[in-house]
Structure 1
């Protein structure tokens, strides 16, 4: 991780009671690198100034003003401020409730287990980016903008996003045997992340060698099992911090060695410390 000597990152997060399942954030980063990590929400990022370079399994892309960057739930990514300068952006995090609300409005015939999908990627769309920024900014000024106007801005922006790029989630194709086993391993790790699970335990679970299991898991999900377990622990720690637990309590509960271990990995992944995240503006 590299952090600018000029200033610390500035990140503000909040919720608006007018929206279902949406968390909002405004951020400014100087020279900073984000370690590979994931979110359990759909993430929509609109750059206001500067640029960020983002890396996914599909490759690397540079998000600048006029672009909309989308990450799917569970999609691993990393990145850095482009050329070490500055990246100022607004972001929307939609959990499954929020995605379901979009589906109910814009795709009412979609099944509950097959909600609307915004394919991940970088969209160079200044019109859409401007509308999303306008909606986001009005939600950042709750005391000055009426509820009706905030909701109108939000649904206009979401309507354009879904209308241009949304599509119903496709029925899965017949899953290969190896893929089913890797999904079984991932679910097992997610259910037992508090423990220090061995590769031998996972290999025995699905009847594969340790070497083959590690290679197949990495090929399927983009990172080895131990790195996935770390990401699950970080997400669990975020939920505990948001619920009011201390960093020390969260670190112990989710399986990190100690609080300093959580602090180091949390900041490398999300750009702020657990303490700073816990102190972010509470929801409304």
Structure 2
């Protein structure tokens, strides 16, 4: 059904039912969608209509309908429409640990350009980029993630051998941060938990999970904030419960990570509940 003319320029985002380690959305935006921001996940998507324009690695990129977008963890990017008509897209956000479960200690695949027409990636993302109303069975999602990890490694030319970093230390650090994300974690704690000095551990963590230990900790707090806001918590309560020093501290990190203030994010997300 066509959208009424009075709502034709309304931005919206629809979310799939969340599954462990993967977030799936479909969205429509006109004009400026997101300010510069960065995730600690892969952002992999497909443009469905219009021109999806974004800044990535010091260049402007335009994704056309049918193109596949692959943004590496922790790479700053923004988002806007390339024409007056706006753009529509689907995107999945995949935690690097899910690809590491497949790659087994190899360096994370990196695609320089951010936009690709490679048929291997188009095929490997087909199941994961279905309409958000489609439910993926656990085995279906697992198989699709494995196919995608292998396709990314092949297209990126990732060496088949393991990286020289300490994968076990990085894994232990991630587990420790996950379990203690709502409080301050010290470098001494991480060294004790992993048996690795802080500088080597930081390098290992970036190699295997695409971000720094502190960024990983902050993202887990922001995940908690989004869950609390969806459940009706105030901004101040969500910030405190998630482990931030205060609301302004949380808001700064939220905007840098998602390209939207918490208030704007709630406004756009509110269109989902409103139908």
Q: State the TM bucket, normalised to the shorter chain.
A: 0.5 to 0.7
Equivalent residues of 2:165, 2:204 under 8 A apart: no
CA deviations over 1:106-160 (Å, ceiling 9, x no partner): xxxxxxx97xxxx97633379x7xxx9xx99xx79xxxxxxxxx97xxxxxxxxx
Report deviation, 1:194: 0.4
TM-score (ref. length: structure 1):
0.59
2:12 equivalent in structure 1: 12
1:228 equivalent in structure 2: 216
Equivalent residues of 2:52, 2:64 under 8 A apart: yes
SS in 2 for 1:37: coil
Number of residue pairs aligned between Structure 1 and Structure 2 = 220
Q: Report which stretch shifted further, 270-279 or 182-191.
A: 270-279
Report deviation, 1:65: 1.9
Cα 1:282–1:125 change in 2 (3 A) is farther
CA deviations over 1:42-97 (Å, ceiling 9, x no partner): 64241622521334xxx97823223221458xx43321358x9987442344789x
Unaligned runs of 5+ in 2: 1-9, 18-22, 96-100, 103-109, 135-143, 151-159
Report deviation, 1:177: 7.5
SS in 2 for 1:237: helix
CA distance in 2, matches of 1:95, 1:179: 19
Cα 1:264–1:60 change in 2 (3 A) is same
Say if 2:117 is the partner of 1:124: yes
CA distance in 1, matches of 2:208, 2:146: 25
Cα 1:45–1:267 change in 2 (3 A) is farther
Report deviation, 1:15: 4.5
Residues 73-92 of structure 1 correspond to what in structure 2 (within 5 A)?
75-81=73-79, 88-92=87-91
Equivalent residues of 1:26, 1:91 under 8 A apart: no
CA distance in 2, matches of 1:16, 1:228: 23
CA distance in 2, matches of 1:208, 1:166: 29
2:273 equivalent in structure 1: 282
Equivalent residues of 2:54, 2:77 under 8 A apart: yes
TM-score (ref. length: structure 2):
0.60
Cα 1:182–1:95 change in 2 (3 A) is closer
Cα 1:38–1:254 change in 2 (3 A) is same
Equivalent residues of 1:27, 1:89 under 8 A apart: yes
Equivalent residues of 1:244, 1:278 under 8 A apart: no
Cα 1:213–1:267 change in 2 (3 A) is same
1:259 equivalent in structure 2: 247
CA deviations over 1:151-210 (Å, ceiling 9, x no partner): 7xxxxxxxxxx8xx993756x987877111111101211121101000110011111222
1:54 equivalent in structure 2: 56
Unaligned runs of 5+ in 1: 1-9, 97-112, 141-149, 152-161
Equivalent residues of 1:16, 1:283 under 8 A apart: no
1:178 equivalent in structure 2: 166
CA RMSD of aligned residues (A): 4.5
Ranges of 4+ aligned residues in structure 1 off by more than 4 Å = 84-87, 172-177
Say if 2:264 is the partner of 1:245: no
1:101 equivalent in structure 2: none
CA distance in 2, matches of 1:16, 1:235: 16
